[in-house]
Amino acid sequence: MKIFFAIFLVATYGCVVKHHAQFGEIDGRGGLGRRFEVKVSETGVNLSEASSVAKSLTRSKAAQKDIETVRDIISMFQMGPKTGNIVFHDDYAEKLLSMILSQCSSGKITGLSLIRESNKYPVISGEIVKVRGYCKLGKGGSSV
């Protein structure tokens, strides 16, 4: 059983969950231009998986019960709607707009696609916001 669990953990290493996908206007006049990608992420924590791992580290039933109690108390302090796993900083996506414009200083951005996804690992996850788009060619045919 433990071997199966270990194999399962390895097999699901890096599983991706897509939460939200959105596409914007596509201006194909004169070609799409240069493709760019911008990604921001933060480490998320799965509390129930963390408590399961902690419980598996001890054989004492009293300690396992303590871990469950601690997990339940913590979850009372972390109530609310969740997408993916919880993170401890919510400002990791605030620089997204500046990062998009730094990829295309001309501002001629089109074909934007935004994906909110999670890269799942045991106990932790990567909470990712990925933006892909096209920077249209500037004057004189050079991409900026």
Partner 1 sequence: MFKKLFIIVMLFCVSSCVHLQSVSLTQIPAKKSKKVETEAHKWIILGFTFDNDYLDEVVPELNRRCSNGKIQGVLTKDETVNYFIGLVMKQRVVVSGYCQKA
Partner 2 sequence: MVLRVFIFFIFSTLCACSHAIHLVHSSDFSPYSEPSIGKLISAKTEQFTILGFVESTAYVDDAMKELEKKCSHGYINGITTQYSTSHGFFSWTNKILMQGYCFEKS
Site string for partner 2, 60-89 (x = CB under 8 A): ---x--xx--xx--x-xxxxxxxxxxxxxx
CB of 88 to partner 1, least distance (A): 25
Q: Counting contacts by CB under 8 A, is residue 117 touching partner 1?
A: yes
Residues 6+ apart with CB under 8 A from 48: 71
Q: How far is CA 12 from CA 17, 45, 81, 122, 125, in A?
A: 11, 16, 25, 8, 12
> Rounded CA gap, 39 and 93, in Å?
9
Could you tell me if 133 and 33 are in contact, meaning their C-beta atoms sit under 8 angstroms apart? Answer: no
Collapse the DSSP code of 131 into the 3-class scheme (helix H, G, I; strand E, B; otherwise coil) and give the result: strand
Indicate the length of the chain as a whole number: 144
Interaction of residue 39 with partner 2, rule CB under 8 A: no
Residue 134: both structure tokens together: 């096209």
Among 106, 119, 122, 137, binds partner 2 (CB under 8 A): 106
Name the binder of 53 from partner 1, partner 2, none, CB < 5-8 A by kind: none
In the complex, the residues that contact partner 2 under the rule CB under 8 A are: 19-20, 22, 24-25, 27, 45, 47, 50, 54, 57-58, 63, 66-67, 70-71, 74, 76-90, 92-94, 96-98, 100-101, 105-110, 112, 114, 116, 127, 129, 131, 136
